[in-house]
Amino acid sequence: LLGLLGFVLLIVAFDLWGFFTLGTITPAEEPARDQDANAVVMVFGATGSVGDGLLKAAIEDPNVKKVYVVTRSTSPRIEAGAKSGKVEIRMHQDFTDYSSLTDILAEVNTVLWGLGTTSLGVDDATYTRIHVDFPMAFVSTWLSARKIGPMSFHYVTGMGTDANGDQHWAREKGRAEHDLAMLAADSDLRTFSYRSAFVRPTTEQANGFHYMLETLLRPGKLVISSSELGSAMLEISARTNELANG
């Protein structure tokens, strides 16, 4: 009984935290959208639970004409997208070196970056390599291929990200947010970070536990599905004059 009470109090605390720290940006009600802003999308981390939803959103968006998936391995959604002709798979191993992608980077408008790992059981150096070095290396290479918009880079960082935080993961994610924005400052590239709490997997991957968490965390605005997150990224990309870099 005490365990159940503790769990309930924890959920209530999370919901209150989420509700009172909710962002205050109000989107335009009748926005101007650039229909070509997401013509060519590149997705990283598409085999993960978050990246799978980002890929699903890109495939289903009628304004997306081409999707490049950069990955070490494949998945049923990636394979289905490739069979449809909308997805092109680019197998990739070294995520600090993107020279093998230089033939396509100049045509990419939007990058959905879902590549990452939990901080649990991962040493600090490895975590930094994945969450700072990987995206920084990519954006640097991308900007050497093109600097003229529309261009947008969308990075899932997570709730609690804080460049001045107590936890290594929070500081490094915060550093990545800042450094990516600075890297894009002299170009048309806009970078956006998403400090999501719980990202529910797509309906194809979600189970009863995921839906239970979604129900419990909805009051605090602490949950979004991965495909909804991907759609939000594409919507922000299309609103080229509404939100600035960083």
Whole-angstrom distance, CA of residue 192 vs CA of residue 61: 19
What is each CA distance from 2 to 74, 202, 229, in whole angstroms?
Answer: 44, 33, 36
- pLDDT of residue 111 exceeding 90, the answer is yes
Q: pLDDT tens for residues 150-168?
A: 999 999 998 889 899 999 9
Q: pLDDT tens for residues 171-203?
A: 999 999 999 999 999 999 999 999 988 999 999
- Percent of the chain past pLDDT 70, that is, above it, reads 100
Which residues in the chain belong to E strands, given as ranges?
40-44, 66-71, 87-91, 110-113, 151-156, 189-194, 198-200, 223-225
Q: pLDDT tens for residues 120-129?
A: 888 999 999 9
C-alpha angle 47-131-144 in degrees, rounded to nearest 5: 95
pTM beyond cutoff 0.75: yes
